[in-house]
């Protein structure tokens, strides 16, 4: 397999709003990130993915961009960005920006022009349709509630917004718009940016007959089959690659909800000239129920392993996997599939081991490296995320769910679980800020913070640092093949990696019980133990949340 830096890298995702406030307004900013770069260099990560830093009214916290070539006022200035990029490169760190081009903000000048008249040159930068019998063009629902169509009286037409009504979808069928995006990308790459994470990039080509979606059990029709992985998506990404990406040594990762392995072989194929890798969602949806992510079923480990095995073997030798448990949209993994009470430290280390020893590029989301947990808010008024607030309103006012049940569903799955401020130390506001913060700090910051782990060799932080160092020291982690072990076992996630004569066995107990290890081809030998999250070791059994990695040379 071709060796390359983006396969060997570890990526660290920063949600700038919640990382480090440097000017005392309670909101994270670029100067704050620059201050923390030495910490990230110490941790050993290679690439920093910044969630959107561009000018935005923050309807969706920066995922609604009103100027792609200016910095969000609250985050600082373009000079602050230039300083951040220069400092990062000096420390050997790369910067990957978040490209949000399925939609813009309705405050972008393109949209202001587009909506002003039907013959405006920018009209076809967006997707406008006539209503039907005085109603929306079809029954699609937006991802953040309500219809996916917004009526605009200026031209008496509707525009499509697959997210909030302040996030109008861009019309990628328009080559003029595509070239606007490509020149904006070139502008950032010429500044020295090292790549892009591409927001819902598999949504950019729609079925323009706009058929009604399946409405069963929903308030609105489901647009997924007509928006995800649409008719021209690969052509547009190949055009992007040919006109922009192929001219630079950059890293690209597409966020592709509802993507299959077969689709991913095109998006992330080694020779398809599209992207380097994609974020698939199957493992993140494994515990969804009747209300999707808002109804969490207990984890079915056998199903989770089946999904990982499908992706590990499905792309092996053809394309590249991303590896993630966390991001700014997902609840914190140690609360979701670990144990954020008595086994928080051990289960966080186990989850890190399980993910980082797989084949692919691992992504660490801010705070994951110190075992940050979901937040124990007690009122809906503490939440800020548009998705959570709209969903609560739908539950209570459209479905008639009682407030306690609705609140419990939001609390368990809200994206705000991942967006409480980074916990740096035990001072007020956790060292993130010096004033009241845009969203409350998780009260457990007094015990869970960087400062009380940075000098503790037994901490989650040091364990993550060791996982990264182990990857750097052992090619088998990056380039070894994968095969599952004990596939039907309901408590242990185990697999084998092979590279030439070397073999690595990874054994992870996902439960708070002591479990018996099935007998398998390898006779456990403590001298081969390369990574271990426990002090005790007994052949043939795993203690609660125990993770073992054997490297047999």
Q: Which residues are annotated as catalytic?
A: 199, 255
Distance (Å, whole) CA 526 – CA 538: 9
To ligand TEU, the closest distance from the beta carbon of 538 in angstroms equals 41
The residue (of 259 and 268) whose beta carbon lies closer to ligand TEU is 259
> How many residues would you count in the chain?
553
* Partners of 532 in beta bridges: 548
Biggest alpha carbon–alpha carbon distance for the chain: 75
Residue 47: contacted member of ligand TEU, Ca ion, none (CB under 5 to 8 Å, by partner type):
none
According to CB under 5 A, which one of 12, 20, 29, 416 is a site residue for Ca ion?
A: 29
Q: How far apart are CA 70 and CA 267, in angstroms?
A: 29
Site string for Ca ion, 6-25 (x = CB under 5 A): ---------------x-x-x
Of the pair 78, 399, the CB lying nearest Ca ion is at: 78
Residues 393-422 that bind ligand TEU (CB under 6 A): 415
Nearer to Ca ion, 83 or 222 (CB): 83
Shortest distance (Å) from residue 167 CB to Ca ion: 24
For residue 232, what are the contacts with CB-CB under 8 A and spacing of at least 6?
A: 172, 173, 205
Cα(274)–Cα(245) distance, integer angstroms:
9
Give the whole-angstrom CA distance, residue 240 versus residue 103. 16
Number of residues near Ca ion (by CB under 5 A): 5
- Which x/- pattern, by CB under 6 A, does the window 147-186 give for ligand TEU? ----------------x-----------------------
Separation between Cα atoms, residue 161 and residue 163, nearest integer Å = 5
Does 27 contact Ca ion by CB under 5 A?
yes
Counting contacts by CB under 6 A, is residue 11 touching ligand TEU? no
If the CB atoms of residues 255 and 282 are measured against ligand TEU, the closer one turns out to be 255
Q: How far apart are CA 405 and CA 408, in angstroms?
A: 5
Please report how close the Cβ of residue 98 comes to ligand TEU at its closest, in angstroms: 8
The residue of the chain with the least Cβ separation from ligand TEU equals 63
The answer to whether the CB of 150 falls within 8 A of the CB of 199 is no
Cα distance between residue 76 and residue 129, in whole Å: 38
Element (H, E) at 257: none
Q: What residue 199 binds from Ca ion, ligand TEU, none (CB within 5 to 8 A, per partner kind)?
A: ligand TEU
Number of residues that bind ligand TEU (CB under 6 A): 14
Distance CA 142, CA 183 (A): 29
CA–CA gap between residue 83 and residue 86 (Å, rounded): 5
**141 and 216 in contact (C-beta within 8 Å)?**
no
173 vs 198: CA distance, rounded Å: 18
What DSSP assignment string belongs to 143-204? TTSSBSEEEETTTTEEEE-SS-TTSPBB-TT-HHHHHHHHHHHHHHHHTT--EEEETTGGGS
- Between 90 and 218, name the residue whose CB sits nearer to ligand TEU: 218
- C-alpha pair distances (Å), 547 with each of 43, 341, 347: 21, 18, 9
Answer whether 18's CB lies under 8 Å from 366's CB.
yes
**Which of 54, 63, 172, 495 touches ligand TEU by CB under 6 A?**
63
Per CB under 6 A, the list member of 21, 29, 46, 60 interacting with ligand TEU is 60
Window 250-269: residues binding ligand TEU (CB under 6 A)? 255, 257
Indicate whether 293 belongs to the interface with ligand TEU (CB under 6 A).
yes
Strands 481-485 and 94-99: unpaired
**Between residues 331 and 544, which has the closer beta carbon with respect to ligand TEU?**
331
DSSP string covering 539-550, please?
TTEE-TT-EEEE
Residue 311 binds ligand TEU (CB under 6 A)? no
Identified binder of ligand TEU from the candidate list 43, 200, 476, 492, rule CB under 6 A: 200
Strand partners, 337: none
CB of 235 to ligand TEU, least distance (A): 22
Q: Name which of residues 277 to 296 contact Ca ion (CB under 5 A).
A: none
Q: Which of residues 77-136 bind ligand TEU (CB under 6 A)?
A: 100
Contacted entry of Ca ion, ligand TEU, none for residue 194, CB cut-off 5 to 8 Å set by kind: none
Give min distance, CB of 449 to ligand TEU, in A. Answer: 25
Of residues 416 and 546, the one with the C-beta less far from ligand TEU: 416
Choose from ligand TEU, Ca ion, none: what does 23 bind? Cβ within 5-8 Å by kind: Ca ion
| Residue in the structure block whose two tokens are 């000048």 | 109
Contacting Ca ion within 133-172 (CB under 5 A): none
Name which position in 22, 56, 66, 143 contacts ligand TEU (CB under 6 A): 143
Examine residue 233 and tell whether it contacts ligand TEU (CB under 6 A). Answer: no
Q: Which of 387, 394, 416, 546 binds ligand TEU (CB under 6 A)?
A: 387
Q: Is 306 helix (H, G, I), strand (E, B) or coil?
A: helix
Q: What is the DSSP string of 404-471?
A: HHHHHHHHHH-GGGGTSPP---SSGGGGT-SS--SSPPPGGGGTSSSHHHHT-TTSHHHHHHHHHHHH
Closer residue to ligand TEU (CB): 94 or 161: 161
- Of 46, 199, 239, 340, the one binding ligand TEU (CB under 6 A) is 199
Which residues are within 8 A (CB) of 68 and not within 5 positions of it... i.e. 6 or more apart?
A: 54, 104, 184
Q: Does 329 interact with ligand TEU (rule: CB under 6 A)?
A: yes
Nearer of residues 85 and 100 to ligand TEU, judged by Cβ: 100
Among ligand TEU, Ca ion, none, the one that 29 touches (CB under a kind-dependent 5 to 8 A) is Ca ion
Closest separation in Å from C-beta 25 to ligand TEU: 22
Nearer to ligand TEU, 251 or 515 (CB): 251
Give the interface with Ca ion as residue ranges (CB under 5 A). 21, 23, 25, 27, 29
Give the interface with ligand TEU as residue ranges (CB under 6 A). 60, 63, 100, 143, 163, 199-200, 255, 257, 293, 328-329, 387, 415
């Amino acid at each position: 397999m071709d060796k390359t830096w983006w396969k060997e890298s570890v990526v660290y995702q920063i949600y700038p709003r919640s990382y480090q406030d440097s000017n005392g307004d309670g909101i994270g900013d670029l100067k704050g990130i620059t201050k923390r770069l030495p910490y990230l260099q110490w941790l050993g990560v290679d690439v920093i993915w910044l969630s959107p830093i561009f000018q935005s009214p923050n309807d969706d916290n920066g995922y609604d961009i009103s100027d792609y070539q200016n910095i969000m006022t609250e985050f600082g200035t373009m000079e602050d960005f230039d300083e951040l990029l220069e400092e990062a490169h000096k420390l050997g760190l790369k910067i990957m920006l978040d490209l949000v081009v399925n939609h813009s903000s309705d405050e972008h000048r393109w949209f202001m022009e587009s909506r002003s008249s039907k013959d405006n040159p920018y009209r076809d930068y967006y997707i406008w349709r006539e209503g039907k019998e005085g109603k929306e063009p079809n029954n699609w629902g937006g991802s953040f509630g309500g219809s996916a169509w917004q009526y605009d009286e200026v031209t008496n037409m509707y525009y499509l917004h697959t997210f909030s009504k302040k996030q109008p979808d861009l019309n990628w069928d328009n080559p003029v718009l595509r070239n606007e995006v490509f020149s904006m990308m070139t502008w950032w790459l010429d500044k020295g940016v090292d790549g892009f994470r591409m927001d819902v990039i598999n949504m950019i080509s729609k079925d323009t007959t706009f058929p009604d979606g399946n409405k069963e059990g929903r308030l609105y029709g489901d647009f997924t089959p007509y928006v995800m992985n649409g008719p021209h998506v690969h052509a547009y990404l190949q055009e992007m690659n040919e006109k922009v990406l192929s001219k630079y040594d950059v890293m690209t990762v597409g966020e592709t909800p509802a993507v299959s392995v077969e689709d991913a072989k095109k998006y992330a194929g080694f020779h398809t000239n599209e992207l380097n890798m994609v974020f698939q969602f199957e493992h993140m949806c494994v515990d969804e129920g009747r209300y999707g992510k808002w109804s969490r079923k207990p984890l079915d480990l056998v199903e989770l392993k089946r999904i990982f095995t499908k992706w590990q073997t499905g792309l092996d030798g053809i394309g590249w996997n991303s590896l993630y448990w966390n991001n700014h949209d997902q609840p914190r993994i140690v609360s979701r599939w670990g144990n954020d009470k008595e086994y928080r430290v051990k289960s966080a280390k186990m989850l890190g081991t399980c993910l980082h020893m797989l084949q692919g590029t691992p992504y660490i989301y801010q705070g994951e490296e110190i075992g940050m947990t979901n937040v124990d808010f007690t009122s809906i008024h503490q939440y800020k995320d548009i998705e959570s607030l709209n969903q609560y309103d739908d539950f209570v006012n459209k479905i008639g769910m009682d407030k306690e049940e609705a609140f419990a569903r939001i609390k368990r799955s809200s994206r705000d679980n991942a967006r409480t401020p980074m916990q740096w130390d035990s001072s007020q506001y956790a060292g993130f800020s010096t004033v009241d913060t845009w969203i409350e700090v998780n009260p457990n910051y007094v015990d869970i913070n960087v400062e009380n782990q940075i000098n503790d060799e037994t901490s989650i932080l040091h364990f993550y640092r060791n996982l990264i160092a182990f990857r750097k020291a052992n090619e088998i982690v990056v380039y070894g093949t994968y095969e599952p072990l004990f596939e039907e076992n309901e408590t242990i996630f185990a697999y084998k990696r092979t590279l030439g004569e070397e073999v690595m066995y990874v054994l992870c107990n996902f439960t708070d019980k002591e479990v018996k290890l099935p007998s398998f081809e390898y006779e456990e030998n403590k001298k081969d133990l390369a990574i271990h999250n426990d002090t005790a070791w007994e052949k043939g059994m795993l203690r609660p949340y125990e993770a073992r990695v054997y490297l047999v040379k």
